[in-house]
Chain A
């Protein structure tokens, strides 16, 4: 016959301490793991948004480089109209639609860009990108060789969850501000 009273085991206090510590460890570990996963997901979103905006900026810069009929010096707005290499009037602008902000491109076959009616407007930035701000500033220099324009492009980018609409700030101060200059190349052939 087995006498259970002779068996030695852990005391209640020992069991409580062990179970309590185990629970604490598991809670900390799972919490840390979830935070790492969230950060990883956030980082992927930032990279995706940056890639998207970088491509858009490259497209704008390329068209400005080979373009003509830029606005005159001192121009500073969130849109720009000019004539591209193929002779079409092109407009890049910051569009706001249902609290979504994105960069659009529109074209017109009208010869006079300033009066042209632009159509076929299409969004260039994707749904996970929130364009907080867009600005084109034209600096004009007049030399003996002619007048040349440099266009400063400023874009402030944040990441947005396309489903929930939640905005993630990619940098301190409200967003990642990308800034570059593009010079027109019309003088290359002189």
Chain B
């Protein structure tokens, strides 16, 4: 019986066809899926990026407002203290973190600030330097 199947090779063409084409179908599907996931991730990043930039901008505005408007001070972590008291976690899931740049402090007062806006994995920052 086994000998009969081995000798009868006419079915090999169909078998090989099924295996090879099955592999091709799987490859095409996987590649298409990966491409789609990349595209979707990029499109989500575009929206999140814009939110992060505006959150970062809000941090800079807060710092300028506190320092020039209400004499805000820095806390021990180098953050603009009053900006930390503000609600900096936005309802659109964005947040900002503004603090003085440690390497650019003159007489205990930072001359430069870095505001980091975050939305999930998207992080955007704006640096601002105050020249005297």
Contact = CB atoms under 8 A, between A and B. Distances in A.
Given A22-B21, A43-B43, A32 B36 contact: yes
B103 to A, nearest CB: 26
A18 to B, nearest CB: 5
Contacts of A57: 54
B54 A178 contact: yes
A150 B18 contact: no
Contact of B50 (A35, A40, A176, A185): A176
A40 B36 CA distance: 10
Range for the number of chain A residues in contact with chain B: 35 or more
B124 to A, nearest CB: 12
Contact of A181 (B31, B32, B61, B92): B61
Interface stretch (B64-72, B73-81, B105-113): B64-72
A148 B58 CA distance: 16
Contact of A187 (B39, B46, B54, B69): B69
B24 interface: yes
Interface string A8-30: 00110110011001101100110
B36 A35 contact: yes
Range for the number of chain B residues in contact with chain A: 35 or more
B51 interface: yes
A36 interface: yes
A26 B93 CA distance: 42
Given A17-B14, A39-B36, A43-B46, A183 B69 contact: yes
Contacts of A29: 28, 32
A57 B40 CA distance: 26
Contact of A178 (B21, B44, B50): B50
Contacts of B31: 32
Interface stretch (A46-54, A67-75, A87-95, A121-129): A46-54
A32 to B, nearest CB: 3
A46 B61 CA distance: 26
Contacts of A14: 13-14, 17
13 contacts: A17-B14, A17-B18, A25-B24, A28-B28, A32-B29, A32-B35, A50-B47, A61-B57, A150-B61, A177-B91, A180-B55, A183-B64, A188-B68
